[in-house]
Structure 1
Amino acid sequence: MGSRLLYGAHVRANGIRQHYLRYGGQGRPLLIVPGITSPAITWGFVAERLAERFDTYVLDVRGRGLSEASPTLDYGLDAMAADVAAFAEALDLRGYALVGHSMGARIGIRVSRHHGERLGCLAMVDPPVSGPGRRRYPSNLAWYLDSMRQARRGITVEQMRVFCPSWTEEQLRLRAEWLHTCDERAIVTTFDGFHQDDIQSDLPFVKVPSLLMVAGRGGVVAPEDQAEFTRLLPGLLTVQVPDAGHMIPWDDEAGFHAGLHSFLGTNLAAA
């Protein structure tokens, strides 16, 4: 079967150039917002599958991939959330599903609180629950920076395997090709924001059907965090993918799609 990728394009929204990939083109709109160092193209294998039922868009978050980056750009959570809202407005996406992974899940929560007019539902995939007075995000900033600096010099698949030992050859090759497009200032700001932004305070203001997907081996969302999300967001659907680490679709693609289907099948069945 051929690819469901229709095209890549740029749109000016929220005052910056935003790059995205579009897959499928039919059905209810679905927007994937990736994690801290994941350009849009690295989520292509997920988008291909979702494009069977949804008009699927994958966003290059500012400072990643082919979207705008600069020394003076605001890389904070509010700016990234405003980008998503402006992107949806520019493309006239209405009632769209937002599937956010890690950083993207935190962006989605902030979108839902402040820019929820066009949002139809929110899937939060293993969001960092760190914040003021909370335990730190388990990943180390140096892990990101070391791999990015090697990528800017030129990194081989085998060198990338040191950072992502469980990934397939294809996954490693794609990351080695695209990681250099991640702006270090964006990654540092986002990582700091994981510990400075109180995302839990946004949860009571989320008014759309919502899913929390938890990686069983990720160490990011603990049972007590899941309980807190459920308390702050009544009606929240929770799904655990037991054998996956934080990069859930990379570790257990079938489990990821099964968990997502249990949510999207209920809330986005109608095109």
Structure 2
Amino acid sequence: MPTDPRSLPQSALADLADVPATGRWVRSGSARLHVLDYGGPGVPLVMLPGITSPAVTMDFVARELTDRVRPLVVDVRGRGLSDGGGRYTLEEYAEDTEAVVEGLGLERPLLFGHSMGARIAAATAVRGKVPLGGTVLADPPMSGPGRGPYPTTLDTFLGQLRQAQHGTDADEVAASWPRWPRREQELRARWLASCAEEAVVATHRGFEAEDFFDRWPAVPGPVALLYGADSPVVTAAGAAEARRLLPSAAFAVVPDAGHMIFWDNPAAGLAALRDALRPMAG
């Protein structure tokens, strides 16, 4: 599989100067993983972003949680400043998450993941290799064998990635994501090229080859699932199946939001996340 070079413009690295977090590094096998640590005395919350979302793109979510938890946002393998390489399977991503927990000495952290990150959080929780205090999943891909394709095609992802590799800007991003806050459009324009093509290809393949519902019923509590009212990823049927298979989970629907919950409706998305974390964070 060909691998396009990953790159970051100087303006992207300058974004980190405006982020109220400390960059930390851990090893998972031969890979170095980068984590944005927002500090504070709260319960650690390991945050796992989506398929083409480096850690810095979740800054606007993390900084709104520091009064309740200690957010630590991971540059998932093959994104942002973390190394690429490997298989990019859920098991490998879960191993990376365990390495973050162990490498930073986090005691019974909470896990929170959006989209791809939600699948990783579920896989990590089910593996049970590190003690956790709870898990929150936001709009996990429910596609899989016999369930139809993931709503966003691989060609769409690759088209956006190549656009970024050639140089894009916030206006071009806005054509695809018109509802996003301007700062988030700018961050995506600058940071998308840090995502490895092989990581995107393998992860998208996993969305359709690995069934979320194989793990979901075994996710230990406490667990919460958030989803956008207009999401094509977590449909009404998917949400109903999730409720049936794990009735002990807490569920919250974010109004006026699609799959990109926090970008589409930041206030409602953050309120739902804070509500989900409240009983877990103590």
TM-score range, shorter chain: over 0.9
The aligned residue for residue 233 of structure 1 is: 246
After TM superposition, the structure 1 = structure 2 runs for residues 53-92 of structure 1, keeping only pairs within 5 Å, are 53-70=68-85, 73-92=86-105
Q: Which residue of 1 aligns with 2:5?
A: none
Q: Partner residue of 1:33?
A: 48
Instruction: State the Cα deviation string for residues 187-234 of structure 1 (Å, max 9, x = none).
Output: 011111000002211122211211110101111112221121122223
Say whether residues 1:12 and 2:33 are aligned partners.
Answer: no
Match of 1:51, SS state, is: coil
* Alignment correspondent of 1:156: 169
For the pair 1:50 / 2:65, whether they are aligned, the reply is: yes
- Give the stretch that moved more between structures: 39-48 or 18-27: 18-27
Instruction: Give the superposition deviation at 1:162.
Output: 2.1
SS at match of 2:47: strand
* Partner of residue 114, structure 1: 127
1:228 partner amino acid: E
Moved more, 258-267 or 105-114: 258-267
Aligned residues: 266
Residue 52 of structure 1 aligns with an amino acid whose one-letter code is D
Query: 1: distance between equivalents of 2:136 and 2:205?
Result: 23
Name the aligned partner's letter for residue 270 of structure 2.
H
CA separation in 1, counterparts of 2:75 and 2:152? 22
The Cα of 1:147 is off from its aligned counterpart by: 1.1
CA contact (8 A) 2:121 2:137 kept: yes
One-letter code of the match for 1:267? M
Distance 2:173 2:109 in 1: 35
Instruction: Tell me the C-alpha RMSD between the 2 structures.
Output: 1.6
Unpaired runs of 5+ residues, structure 2, are 1-16
State the 1:13 CA deviation.
2.4
Alignment-derived partner of residue 118 in structure 2: 105
Cα distance per residue 1:79-135 (max 9 Å; x no partner): 011110111011111221111000000011111111353211111100110001102
**CA offset digits 1:27-62 (Å, max 9, x no partner):** 100011000000000000111011122111000000
The residue matched to 1:188 in structure 2 has which SS?
helix
* Gaps in structure 1 of 5+ consecutive residues: none
Q: How far apart are the structure 2 equivalents of 1:217 and 1:267?
A: 27
Output the amino acid matched with 1:263: A
Give SS of 1:5's match.
Answer: coil
User: Would the aligned equivalents of 1:14 and 1:82 in 2 still touch at CA under 8 Å?
Assistant: no
What TM-score comes out, normalization by structure 2 length? 0.90
Task: Give the C-alpha shift of residue 186 in structure 1.
Answer: 0.3
Which residue number corresponds to residue 188 of structure 1?
201
Report the identity percentage.
Answer: 41
Rounded to whole Å, the distance in 2 between the matches of 1:211 and 1:186 is: 27
User: What corresponds to 2:157 in structure 1?
Assistant: 144
